[in-house]
Structure 1
Amino acid sequence: MDENAFWQLIEACNPSVPDPGGHKLAAALTARLVNAPVSDVVGFAEQLSWVLYRLDREEYGDGLSGDQFLYTRAAVVAAGREEYESVLRAPQRFMPYASDLVWAEALLYVPDNAYKHLTGDDWDRRTRYSYESYSNTAGWSHV
């Protein structure tokens, strides 16, 4: 799955109503991925980790706990490509997503759930980029 296919899938599955926690988006994404080959699940996981990694920078996360920062980055991704790219260009657009009312933690579990459904096994695979908070050491000047 390339970056365009990833964002098209996010857009296609994004609910038209508010989705605190990203649960509806995560359910729709999982439903799509369980009807696709395992390679699509792997590709989705790789793209998700990449876009989250790109937001793992000091200008976004300074002052947030690790979990707050991760779930906030997920909320930016859940908002779609246009908003995501807007946040990359203008870091001040990030902090409104830091409210726990808009976090999208559920998005993080989509690959795990889809993989388990398709294979019967737990997801036990690392992606090329870690989406864990503060793993992008180049994005943090004090690291």
Structure 2
Amino acid sequence: MTATMEPAVSGRILAPGVIIGAVSGLFAGVIMLVGGAPASWAVTAGTLLALPLAAAGAGCSFLRWRGLLGGGHFAPLALYWVLAFPLVRLVQDVGTRLVLSDTLALPQHLWAFLAYQALISVGFAIGFVWVQERLVRGGARR
């Protein structure tokens, strides 16, 4: 297949990752609401998590489809999310502060924040792979 894809093919390939990422971010916003966070904070944080997670999920689906993150091999997928998830969370954290308090600031202990998110990312990678391979009929395969 050439570098350019037909819209129907690209939609079929990218949709699982986009949907998983978006639903994960929106679910986090709902959990924040249930936990008592102010609605503006929950909506902002949920949206700022859903959008970059959807983009990272689309990237993961595309790389799986291209064979760079092969099915049945968890280590490359875990490595992808160890890199992508902390960046997504950093975008969410900085963006939420910027939107809600007009302050552009990084987390106080940036390296600790990123390391913790990298640890959490492995659990997200397991869930992402499980959903993509079990519920989306084999995920993004050629």
Instruction: Provide the TM-score with structure 2 as the length reference.
Output: 0.32
Instruction: Provide the TM-score with structure 1 as the length reference.
Output: 0.32
Q: Which has the larger radius of gyration?
A: 2
Q: Which has the higher contact order (CA 8 A, sep 6+)?
A: 1
More helix by share: 2
